[in-house]
Structure 1
Amino acid sequence: MPKFIVLYVKYVDAISIKIGRAVMYLIFVMIGVLLLGALTRNVLHMPLSWTVEMAQFIITAYYIAGGAYSMILREHVRMDLIYERFSERNRAKVDVITTFFLVFYLVTLLIGSISSTMYAIEYGQRNFSQWNPSMIPIKIIMVAGIFLMILESVAVFFKDLAIAKGIKIS
Structure 2
Amino acid sequence: MKFLLAIARLIDALNERIGRAVLWLTLIVVLVSAANAVSRKVLNMSSNAWLELQWYLFGAIFLLAAGYTYLRNEHVRVDVLSARFSTRVQVTIEIVGILFFLLPAAGLVFWLAIPYFYDSWRIQELSSNTGGLIRWPAKLLIPVGFGLLILSGISRLIRCVAFLSGQGPNPLVTTQMKTAEEELAEEIQRQQEARERSANGKVEGR
TM-score relative to the length of structure 2: 0.77
Counterpart of 1:84 in structure 2 is: 83
**Alignment coverage as a number of residue pairs:** 169
> Does the CA contact (< 8 Å) of 2:52 and 2:132 recur in 1?
no
Relative to structure 2, which stretch is displaced further, 28-37 or 120-129?
A: 120-129
Give the residue type in structure 2 aligned to 1:131. Answer: G
Percent identity (aligned)? 23
Q: What's the secondary structure of 1:50's corresponding residue? A: helix
Whether the aligned pair in 2 keeps the contact of 1:90 and 1:164 (CA below 8 Å) is no
- TM-aligned CA deviation for residue 164 of structure 1: 2.6
Question: Could you tell me which amino acid in structure 2 is paired with residue 9 of structure 1?
Answer: A
- Give the corresponding residue for 1:137: 137
Q: Runs ≥4 in structure 1, deviation > 4 angstroms?
A: none
* Helix, strand or coil at the partner of 2:74: coil
| 1:57-98 deviation per Cα after TM superposition (whole angstroms, max 9, x unaligned) | 101000111011101111112212112222322111001111
For residues 129 and 77 of structure 1, the distance between their equivalents in structure 2, rounded to whole angstroms, comes to 35
Give the partner amino acid of 1:134: I
Q: Over residues 85-142 of structure 1, what are the superposed CA-to-partner deviations in whole Å (9 max), with x where a residue is unaligned?
A: 2232211100111101210111101111101011111222222212331111122222
1:126, 1:133 within 8 Å by CA — same for their partners in 2?
A: yes
Cα distance in 2 for residues equivalent to 1:64 and 1:115: 18
Report what 2:19 is aligned to: 20
**Counterpart of 2:48 in 1: which secondary structure?**
coil
1:12-58 superposed Cα distances (whole Å, 9 cap, x missing partner): 00111011111122111111111111111111222223333211110
User: Are residues 1:8 and 2:7 paired?
Assistant: yes
Greater C-alpha Rg? 2
Could you list the runs of 5+ residues in structure 1 that have no partner in the other structure? none
Instruction: Check the 8 A contact 1:110/1:146 in 2, yes or no.
Output: yes
Under a length normalisation based on structure 1, what TM-score does the superposition of the two structures give?
A: 0.92
Q: Do residues 120 (structure 1) and 155 (structure 2) align? A: no
Question: Using the alignment, how far apart are the partners of 1:82 and 1:131 within structure 2?
Answer: 51
Q: CA RMSD in A?
A: 1.6
